[in-house]
């Protein structure tokens, strides 16, 4: 039987062997190399705003449906309801970023998802409905770790020339670089408590591995589609 120490070592290995290398790959992508070099175009930043807005709205609706469907279980209902509460303001923050770049609300209303972001969102929602609770927590651990790290990158470089964006424009990233530290800690704790079997651990590893690739694919797709 796995001990608490074993479980913590497992979560540490997820972070060190899968998630953080995935973060490194993401931040070495064309999108973030351009960001750091001061060459990221307004069009590609607009693309992130639109596509992540679509993602945020999809996740919010999935949380709402999940809470309703899992109402008989207090524990599951609260997990979905808490997730929805944490994400509730994020679409508006993402839209604010895009509007500061010249988009209108109509651009968000009429937008269609492009392949990479659509695939990432679809897998996230799949994990929310068809996965076990520990798999859902693994999804959160992987995604939130990446969002926290790339939000820190955005916030740092968008505050500098040639972007020179103020705090209001960068609000989405300022919120996420802080809040997602707490979210990842909570997900890690849940995995430590719940991933007690070899089968559970194999599922968690698969989720984290997929998410690392999907997040990179999301930004590569935005980079290409909004050239």
d(CA 65, CA 128): 10
Q: Determine the Cα–Cα distance for residues 188 and 183; give it in Å rounded to an integer.
A: 9
- Predicted TM-score of the model (pTM): 0.92
Q: Quote the CA–CA distance of 123 and 100 in Å, as a whole number.
A: 30
CB atoms under 10 Å from CB of 192, counted, come to 20
Please give the chain's pLDDT, 227 residues, in tens.
Answer: 556 677 889 999 999 999 999 999 999 999 999 999 999 999 999 999 999 999 999 999 999 999 999 899 998 899 889 889 988 999 999 999 999 999 999 999 999 999 999 999 999 998 888 878 888 889 889 998 999 999 999 999 999 999 999 999 999 999 998 876 777 888 888 898 988 899 999 999 999 999 999 999 999 999 999 99
151 token code pair: 């939000």
Residue carrying structure tokens 């797709």: 221
Determine the pLDDT at residue 184.
Answer: 82
Q: What stretch of H or E contains 220?
A: helix 198-225
Here the CATH number for the domain that contains residue 189 is 1.20.910.10
Give the total number of structural domains in the chain: 1
Q: What is the pLDDT of residue 84?
A: 92
pLDDT at 218: 98
Quote the domain boundaries for residue 196: 4-225
- Calpha distance 118→55 (Å, rounded): 8
Rg from Cα positions in the chain = 18
The tokens of 125 are what? 């929602």
**Token pair belonging to 110:** 């009429």
What is the Cα–Cα distance from 15 to 189, expressed in whole angstroms? Answer: 13
């Amino acid at each position: 039987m796995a001990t608490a120490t074993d479980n913590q070592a497992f979560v540490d290995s997820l972070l060190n062997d899968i998630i953080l290398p995935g973060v490194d790959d993401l931040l070495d992508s064309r999108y973030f190399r351009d960001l750091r070099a001061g060459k990221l175009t307004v069009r590609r930043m607009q693309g992130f705003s639109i596509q992540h807005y679509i993602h945020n709205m999809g996740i919010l609706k999935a949380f709402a449906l999940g809470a309703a469907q899992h109402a008989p279980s207090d524990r599951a209902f609260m997990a979905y309801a808490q997730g929805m509460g944490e994400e509730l303001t994020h679409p508006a923050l993402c839209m604010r970023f895009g509007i500061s770049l010249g988009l209108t609300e109509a651009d968000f209303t009429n937008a269609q998802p492009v392949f990479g972001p659509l695939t990432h969102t679809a897998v996230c929602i799949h994990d929310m409905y068809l996965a076990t609770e520990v798999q859902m927590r693994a999804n959160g651990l992987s995604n939130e770790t990446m969002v926290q790290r790339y939000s820190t990158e955005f916030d740092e470089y968008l505050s500098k020339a040639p972007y020179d964006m103020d705090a209001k424009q960068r609000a989405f990233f300022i919120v996420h670089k802080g809040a997602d530290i707490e979210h990842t800690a909570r997900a890690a704790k849940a995995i430590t408590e719940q991933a007690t079997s070899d089968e559970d651990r194999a599922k968690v590893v698969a989720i984290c591995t997929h998410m690392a690739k999907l997040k990179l694919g999301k930004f590569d797709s935005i980079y290409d589609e909004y050239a």
